[in-house]
Amino acid sequence: CFNPVSFYYIYGEADARGQEVVETVVGEVSNTPWGEMHCYVLNPTVEGVEVGSGKKIFNERLEDVHPREWRQTPLEYRFSKDFHVSPFMDMSHLYHWRFSLPEKKLWVKTAMIKQGGAEDGKLYFDALLTLEKVPLTAWGLLYQLIRLPCQCMLIQILIHIEALQLFFKVPFVPHPQGSETATSRAIGLMMAPVFWVVQLWPSSKKQI
C-alpha cells in the first residue's frame, strides 16, 4: 500500500496541570522508487533539529483553514534533508514541518526550502495534511478497507503520470548514496536504461 509518510507522537511526563505533553514527533518517510524507509526523530536534543523557529516561510493557506487552533498549538521543527525521496529533487533542501496537537482534528504543514546556490531560501514544495478523528465502528472499518486500497491505487497512477510530466521538465536525480536494499537494487537495475536516456536528455531542464 502506498504510504509516503507516517507521523508518530511520543508523549513524555504530564505537566503540572496533568495534561499530556508531546515530547517527540517521529516522521517515518518512504521513497517509492527505491522501496526504502527513514525516520526523522524530531526532538530538541537531537543534533541538527531546530525547534520552534519563528522564521515565516509558509503561505497563509494553513492559517486560513484553522487560524485560531493553529496559532495556539503548533509544534514546529526545522532540519536538513538527509534521505533521498523524490527522483526530481536533490538533497540540498531544508525541511520545515509544523504539527497541531493530536486532538479531534489534526493537521501537518510541511515545506522544503532550497539550501545553497542562487536559490538559497526559496520555497520549493509545500503540502498540508488534515485529519479528523472518527469513531471506530464495524461499518467504518469495512468502508476504510474498501476505500483505502482503491485510493492508494489511484494515487499511484496519478503520481506516475505526474512523474512522467516532470521527466520532460526537470533533471532526473538518481539515488545519491546508492541503493540500500535488495529490492531497491533490483529497481535500480531495471531503471538503468531509463537513467542512461535521462543523461542524454537536454541539460537545459530546470533544476529542482
pLDDT band at 86 (very low <50, low <70, confident <90, very high): confident
Q: Measured between alpha carbons, how far is 69 from 194 in angstroms, rounded to an integer?
A: 47
Question: Alpha-carbon torsion 21, 81, 53, 106, what sign?
Answer: negative
**pLDDT above 70: residue 52:** yes
- 124 with 54, same domain: the answer is yes
180: pLDDT strictly greater than 60: no
What is the domain range of residue 150? Answer: 140-200
Q: Look-up: residue for cell 476504510?
A: 144
What is the pLDDT confidence band of residue 138, given thresholds at 50, 70 and 90?
Answer: very high
pLDDT band of residue 107 (cuts 50, 70, 90) is: confident
Cell numbers found for residue 204? 537545459
Q: Is the same domain home to 20 and 39?
A: yes
Q: Is residue 207 part of a domain?
A: no
What is the residue-wise DSSP string for the chain? ---SEEEEEEE-S--TTS---EEEEEEEEEETTTTEEEEEEE-TTSTT-EES-----S-SHHHHHSHHHHHHS-EEEEEE--S---TTS-S-EEEEEEE--SSSEEEEEEEEEE-SSTTTT-EEEEEEEEEE-----HHHHHHHHHHHHHHHHHHHHHHHHHHHHHHTTS-----TT---SHHHHHHHHHHHHHHHHHHHS-TTSPP-
What percent of the chain has a predicted confidence (pLDDT) above 90? 24
Last residue of a domain, one of 106, 133, 160: 133
- Please report whether residue 162 resides in a domain: yes
Instruction: Judge whether residue 175 has pLDDT over 80.
Output: no
In a domain, 154, yes or no: yes
Structure confidence at residue 48 as a pLDDT band (50, 70, 90): very high
Asked, for residue 36, whether it belongs to a domain, the answer is yes
Note the pLDDT of residue 8: 96
Cβ neighbours for 7, distance < 8 A, ≥ 6 positions apart: 25, 26, 27, 28, 99, 108
The reply to whether 147 and 107 lie within a common domain is no
Q: Which range among 37-41, 122-126, 191-195 has the greatest average pLDDT?
A: 37-41
62 band by pLDDT with thresholds 50, 70 and 90: very low
For residue 204, pLDDT beyond 60? no
Residue 128 or 193, more confident: 128
Query: Both 33 and 66 in a single domain?
Result: yes
What pLDDT is stored for residue 198 in this prediction?
60
Let me know if residue 78 belongs to a domain: yes
**What's the pLDDT at 9?**
95
Closest CA to 94 of 116, 115, 117, 125: 115
Domains in the chain, number: 2
Conformational region of residue 35, where left means phi above 0, alpha means psi within -120 to 50, and beta covers everything else: left
Residues 157-179, mean pLDDT to the nearest whole number: 77
